[in-house]
Amino acid sequence: MKETFQAFLDEIKIITAEIDCHYYDGLSSEFKVIDEDNNYYETVIKEEHKADNKRVYKLFVDGLTIGKNYTIVDEHFLKVPLTYRYVVRTDVFDELFYYPGDDLGVTYTKEASEFRIWSPVASRVLLDVEGDIYTLKRQEKGVHYVKVEGDLAGKSYEYLLNISHNWHHAIDPYALSSTPNHKKSVVLDTDIIDINLNKEMLPVLNQKTDSIIYELHVRDFSSKASSGIKEQGKFLGLIEEGTTSDRGDVTGLDYLLNLGFTHLQLLPIYDFGSVDELNPSSHYNWGYDPMQFNVPEGSYASDVNDPYSRVIDLKKVVSKLHEKGLRVVMDVVYNHMFDRFSTSFESIVPYYYFRTGEDGMISNGSFCGNDFDSTRLMGRKYILDSIKLWMTEYGIDGFRFDLMGILDITTMNQVAMLVSELDPNAMVYGEGWNMPTLLAEDQKATMMNQALMPNIGHFNDMFRDTVKGGSMEEDEKLKGILLGDIKKFSKLPNLLLGSPVKEKESFFSAPWKSVNYVECHDNQTVYDKMITCEVDEVENRQKLMLATVLFSQGIPFIHAGQEFCRTKQGAHNSYMSSDTINGLDWHRAYEYKEIVDYTRDAIALRKETPEFRYMSYDVPIKDKSKKLKKMIEIHYDKEVKLIINMSQQLHEVKLKKEKIVFNKHGKADIHDKYTLEPLELIIIKKA
């Protein structure tokens, strides 16, 4: 509805008043502010202009207190609420109200629970615990507090906040659990969720390049009957042991452990908005639409109606994976939320947590309608507090940041520092794409600014597109080197060496910063792209791409099922497709067993060969590739050689006190001369 008169506090002492020109031509010679005790505050008109059929006034006012409700009147005594708007986005506001405490949310004991919520603009805050109402007391820095006697374990609650004369409902952004579909937050007895996370059982990780990452969606892992997993689509399905397909082949956790990777990266496991937790089979989603950053997703819980289930189930998963020697990386999406206006953040402090430009332009670098503003001090603090929670409460071993370029460099460096302090072995890496968020280029946490983030890795899309070919739908026919575009042949050695150069300029400052991959949840699978491109030798090319990822300097990344030619039936963006499209078909693990074994052997060889895991470019590596013969040949410290035959001819390899330890079949032990076939990679070591 069109408003006749609106007024906003946009700076500590500046009000923006807007009057529709249909009302007295929008003219007013004076404005006054009135507080709830009927005290008047004079204003001074500093500026006036006409825009979009309304008159806009900039008013100076002194003496207002943030957090009180005010009304403003024009010369005709038309009254409207004074709304807290862009004042919350000023540096002065952050200086006045930044709260460094670590006690936001609920502090529970059996005798009483303490509730704290940060909302400097709220004049009153109420707590509703299943119909019992409590009034919070305002404390320093805009924190509101109440202590409620008695054991509240399992009780649901929400906040009611009066801001600029309007009441807002909000769940607790610091809550540990909630009722289904994020309707209410829930108080948990922390003793009940205290589970040994078995961090001490993890093997030593000497350096980041010792990591081998396997990306998996919780639901995809067990959604198809071929998995043989009872807890289909659930957290607990990840850790069922002894499962087999209907054909008797090993599936599930036992299969994963047999592959030998070091890190399991899980697509979003926090509460997201696009799946009905009470009827999860009705919708599918990857989960890149956060609703509650600190609450596990309910559709993955064994009992969504039990608020403890989602928490305990996930902790059991992490504990079991740690027991088996696997680290767990969490895919986090702090760059945006499902819907800005339905979030607790917007209800608690409107206009604060989401990035806007001049005149309220909504930043939409995520293309999801909003960008979370990590440059606001309490927005940054929330991300850091959330990271700390996942590490200390759940034992998470690393974080993959979705659309990291929407966040700022300062925040990401603080995240990396915190993660390292809590666990020196934990990793931070992300998508450093340059997204069109309303943030200065030199502040974005993008790949082009990687040198300013000394402890953060980046997905290497140059590696992906050069090796495989174009990933976007419009580029589906564009082939990379390993799909047959030999014109790019000369670029392959640089990728194998950790991508120190891009277009003849320095790229990554260290090999470990390059997360090397050709396939992830996004875009077509490699197998589907090869079918689209109508290439020959599909299985050999699949092997070669896996080996190229696993034997390159940097951190190798494999998408679940890539090792058995996973197909999504050609889908380019399956984020909301069915389980039929997304679910892992475990029959293929048997049908493509040769590639599975090849992948396992390549992982084992990488682990036992330090020459593939250098942390610096300052190492003894020689590129002896032969362009005319279309042969890649890399020599590592006189101990190891990697050779790839990209020609269509056979190539004789002479061994001199050497042996071939890896070839087209995987693990090998060949001491005689060897005939290298087209599209074959071999590894040679000193005998």
Looking at residue 102, which CATH number applies to its domain?
2.60.40.10
Query: Where does the pLDDT of residue 358 fall: very low under 50, low under 70, confident under 90, or very high at 90 and above?
Result: confident
Tell whether 110 and 75 lie within a shared domain: no
CB atoms under 10 Å from CB of 582, counted, come to 22
Tell whether 79 and 115 lie within a shared domain: no
Residues 638 and 605 sit within 8 Å (Cβ to Cβ): no
CB atoms under 10 Å from CB of 653, counted, come to 20
Residue written as token pair 């939409």? 364
**Residue bearing the bigger pLDDT, 586 or 3:** 586
Q: Looking at the predicted structure, is the pLDDT value of residue 52 above 90?
A: no
Tell whether 56 and 114 lie within a shared domain: no
CA distance 173 to 289: 15
Tell whether 49 and 114 lie within a shared domain: no
Q: Looking at the predicted structure, is the pLDDT value of residue 183 above 60?
A: yes
Q: How many domains does the chain have?
A: 2
Q: Looking at the predicted structure, is the pLDDT value of residue 454 above 60?
A: yes
pLDDT reported for residue 205: 95
CB atoms under 10 Å from CB of 31, counted, come to 22
Instruction: Taking residues 79-84, report their average pLDDT.
Output: 97
Q: Is 402 annotated as catalytic?
A: yes
Q: HSE, CB side, 13 Å, CA atoms: give it for residue 356.
A: 18
Spacing of C-alpha 608 from chain mean position: 31
3-state secondary structure of 617: coil
3-state secondary structure 329-368: EEEECCCCCCCHHHCHHHHHCCCCCECECHHHCECCCCCC
**616-643 per-position pLDDT tens digit:** 999 989 999 988 889 999 999 889 999 9
**596-606 per-position pLDDT tens digit:** 999 999 999 99
Q: Name the nearest CA neighbour of 333 among 282, 263, 397, 266.
A: 266
Tell whether 37 and 99 lie within a shared domain: no
Strand partners, 17: 7, 57
Instruction: Taking residues 57-61, report their average pLDDT.
Output: 98
Does residue 277 belong to any structural domain of this protein? Answer: no
Tell whether 103 and 140 lie within a shared domain: yes
Q: Looking at the predicted structure, is the pLDDT value of residue 452 above 90?
A: yes
Tell whether 130 and 60 lie within a shared domain: no
Q: Name the nearest CA neighbour of 678 among 527, 486, 491.
A: 486
Q: Looking at the predicted structure, is the pLDDT value of residue 100 above 60?
A: yes
pLDDT reported for residue 1: 53
Domain end (from 84, 111, 131): 84
Question: Can you give the residue range of the structural domain that contains 139?
Answer: 95-170
Does residue 18 belong to any structural domain of this protein? Answer: yes
Q: Report the CATH number that the domain containing residue 62 is assigned in CATH.
A: 2.60.40.2320
Residues 8 and 15 sit within 8 Å (Cβ to Cβ): yes
CA distance 232 to 236: 8
Q: Looking at the predicted structure, is the pLDDT value of residue 59 above 60?
A: yes
Percent pLDDT > 90 in the chain is 95
Instruction: Mention every residue, 6+ apart, whose C-beta is less than 8 A from residue 606.
Output: 212, 550, 551, 556, 612, 613
Tell whether 10 and 77 lie within a shared domain: yes
CA distance 171 to 158: 5
CA distance 681 to 686: 17
Instruction: Taking residues 73-95, report their average pLDDT.
Output: 97
Start-end of H helices in 423-567? 461-467, 492-496, 526-533, 538-550
pLDDT reported for residue 503: 85
Structure tokens at 562: 């890539």
The pTM of this model reads 0.97
Instruction: Taking residues 79-94, report their average pLDDT.
Output: 97
Domain end (from 84, 108, 141): 84
Question: Of the listed 10, 240, 297, 402, which one is catalytic?
Answer: 402
Structure tokens at 180: 């289904």
Q: Looking at the predicted structure, is the pLDDT value of residue 332 above 90?
A: yes
**366-394 per-position pLDDT tens digit:** 999 999 999 999 999 999 999 999 999 99
Instruction: Taking residues 51-56, report their average pLDDT.
Output: 92
DSSP string covering 259-289: H--SEEEES--EEESSS-TTSGGG------S
Tell whether 119 and 54 lie within a shared domain: no
Residue written as token pair 């529709």? 20
Structure tokens at 644: 């790839």
Instruction: Mention every residue, 6+ apart, whose C-beta is less than 8 A from residue 67.
Output: 120, 121, 122, 123, 138, 142
Query: Where does the pLDDT of residue 651 fall: very low under 50, low under 70, confident under 90, or very high at 90 and above?
Result: very high
CA distance 253 to 504: 44
Residues 509 and 449 sit within 8 Å (Cβ to Cβ): no
CA distance 237 to 234: 5
Tell whether 28 and 63 lie within a shared domain: yes
Does residue 276 belong to any structural domain of this protein? Answer: no
pLDDT reported for residue 339: 93
**295-328 per-position pLDDT tens digit:** 999 999 999 999 999 999 999 999 999 999 999 9
Element (H, E) at 386: helix 377-394
Tell whether 139 and 161 lie within a shared domain: yes
Polymer length in residues for the chain: 687
Domain end (from 170, 202, 235): 170
DSSP string covering 557-612: EEETTGGGT---TT-S--TT--HHHHS--THHHHHTHHHHHHHHHHHHHHHH-GGG
Question: Of the listed 431, 519, 633, 680, which one is catalytic?
Answer: 431
Does residue 191 belong to any structural domain of this protein? Answer: no
**226-270 per-position pLDDT tens digit:** 999 999 999 999 999 999 999 999 999 999 999 999 999 999 999
CA distance 513 to 539: 29
Tell whether 76 and 140 lie within a shared domain: no
Mean of per-residue pLDDT scores for the chain: 96
